[in-house]
A and B are shown apart, each in its own frame.
Chain A
Amino acid sequence: MGNTPAASDEDRISYRRRWRLVVMSVVVWILNNVVNATHDVAQALNLGSTREFDIAVLAGFWLGALILVWMVAGVSVRRNPVLNDELTKAHRATAIQLGYWGLLAIMALAFAWSYSGRHVFVPVSFEHLIVTAVTAGAVGPALLFALLDWKAEKVA
């Protein structure tokens, strides 16, 4: 049948891009949890020796988040009109919009949380907050972008 979509190079690159986004999102999500966990353990036990591990995990988290943002921004495919066509740009815009609202929502929740509990003000750890906000701002758009790309593939 003439209309059967054949898997072109672009389709294959697009498929790999989706999987890379999902895998990288999972990595950043795991690093986010490890950062928070090691921070809590180090604080609770006052273990100075875990600080090196904490810093290494935090550096890994920031690197992972930056790579994820770089992938969603499509820096490497900017010059390819097929891989960076208007459908992809529309998906990217939708995904980045989610990241923006996700960041705002996390900040609003943290603000509300800081006024909850028995006391008027409950201190919120800046490290927790920033890592959670960055995770929401990087992982959310990446997964949404991968989902929209996959859905476009399945439309029939």
Chain B
Amino acid sequence: MPDSPLRNRLKEKRAEHGLTQAELAALVSVSRKTINTVENSVFVPSTVLALKLAAALGCRVEELFQLEE
């Protein structure tokens, strides 16, 4: 299903922080479904959401999202 050239390490980073999808979703004011679809590369988040996710996980946005080479 994932056909986006964007790869992400959201699941990994979220696990490092011991957060559930629902908890991370609450931190960035989106639904759990959105976090789930972003993690599985089904949905490409907006720049604003990507920055919010990076801020919530205390990392740079480039560490979370990378373009596939």
Residues of A bordering B, CB below 8 Å: 2-6, 8, 10-11, 14, 81-83, 85-88, 90, 149, 152-153, 155-156
Contacts and interface: CB of A to CB of B under 8 A. Distances in A.
Interface in B29-48: 29-34, 36-37, 40, 42-43, 45-46
Given A152-B37, A155-B1, A85 B20 contact: no
A149 B30 CA distance: 14
A90 B43 contact: yes
Interface string B1-36: 100000000010001001111100100011111101
Given A2-B20, A5-B20, A152-B36, A86 B49 contact: yes
Interface of B: 1, 11, 15, 18-22, 25, 29-34, 36-37, 40, 42-43, 45-46, 49
11 contacts: A2-B15, A2-B20, A5-B20, A6-B22, A81-B30, A82-B25, A82-B30, A86-B49, A90-B43, A152-B42, A155-B37
Prevailing SS type, chain A contact patch: loop
B42 to A, nearest CB: 5
B40 A156 contact: yes
Given A2-B15, A11-B32, A82-B31, 7 more contacts: A5-B20, A5-B36, A6-B20, A81-B29, A85-B29, A149-B33, A152-B37
Contacts of A152: 33-34, 36-37, 42-43
B33 A14 contact: yes
B21 A87 contact: no
A137 to B, nearest CB: 26
A11 to B, nearest CB: 7
A149 B31 CA distance: 11
A93 to B, nearest CB: 13
